[in-house]
Structure 1
Amino acid sequence: MKNIKLIIVLLLGVAFFVSCDSRPIQDIEGVVVNPTYSKNIKPIMDAKCVNCHSQSGEGIFPDLDTYQSVVNAQNGIVSSKLFCSISSSSCTSPRMPKNDAPLSNNTITTIKNWIDTNYPEN
């Protein structure tokens, strides 16, 4: 009986550790070819950007917590300066997200695909 309990505990422990994956969802799922704001981009913004770039965050411009603010041609993610700051270390602006790991290549490519497909909302 003790052996069965031990085996069950070990199997549950292995299942727990195998199911845990700390990689961002875009890393697990790969590149999204036809992303939309609500399904693919907003979760990235919420996880990596709005903590600082929102009215409720640290208030650092630009505000990135709505679709309209993200696609704003001058200051949103579509801006070449801002996109450069998340995708390249060779920009004159600081690399984003600040004080966090860089976005994965899959996430950056997904954002680029969204920009290239003219920023579909839904």
Structure 2
Amino acid sequence: MKKLMYLISSAVVLVACESRTYEEISDKTAVAELVTYNKDVKPIIDANCISCHSAGGSASFQPWTNYSQVKNNIDNIINRISRPTGDPLKMPQGGSLSPSQITIITKWKADGLSEN
């Protein structure tokens, strides 16, 4: 009986000690409503991409400062933000979007690239 209690206690401790971040345990695909550029995508682009993809930035040759520019480059954007860590083509440089941000951008494309 003592061995059984020890085994059960050990199993509970091992399961309870699993370390996961909020991003890992949250439902990354649960974006229920229609994703739009102005409401959902633009804030992500502005916070993570504009410093390079605008006038004066290192990627100013490919600006993403408005709806049309982002819409016209969506396949390239999704390709670059979805690359594995360590890939030299992964964007944003020196960082990564969260899984939920990537989901929002890919859902925007799937939802039809609506502006508003």
For the aligned pair, the TM-score class normalised by the smaller chain equals 0.5 to 0.7
1:59 offset after TM fit, Å? Answer: 4.0
Q: Which structure has the greater CA radius of gyration?
A: 2
The gaps in structure 2 that reach 5 residues or longer are 1-21
What is the CA deviation profile of residues 13-35 of structure 1, one whole-angstrom value per residue up to 9, with x for unaligned ones?
xxxxxxxxxx9xxx8xx853321
What is the CA deviation profile of residues 80-111 of structure 1, one whole-angstrom value per residue up to 9, with x for unaligned ones?
x3311101228x761000022x1111110111
Q: Does 1:89 align with 2:84?
A: yes
Number of the residue aligned with 2:50: 50
Q: Please tell me the root mean square deviation across aligned C-alpha atoms, in Å.
A: 2.7
Q: Which has the higher contact order (CA 8 A, sep 6+)?
A: 2
2:83–2:89 contact (8 Å) kept in structure 1: no
Describe how 1:1-122 pairs up with structure 2 within 5 A: 31-33=30-32, 34-72=34-72, 76=73, 78-79=74-75, 81-89=76-84, 94-100=89-95, 102-122=96-116
Normalised to the residue count of structure 2, the TM-score between the two structures is: 0.65
Normalised to the residue count of structure 1, the TM-score between the two structures is: 0.62
1:31–1:110 contact (8 Å) kept in structure 2: no
2:35–2:104 contact (8 Å) kept in structure 1: yes
1:55 offset after TM fit, Å? Answer: 1.8
Number of residues paired by the alignment? 89
The gaps in structure 1 that reach 5 residues or longer are 1-22
Letter paired with 1:40:
D
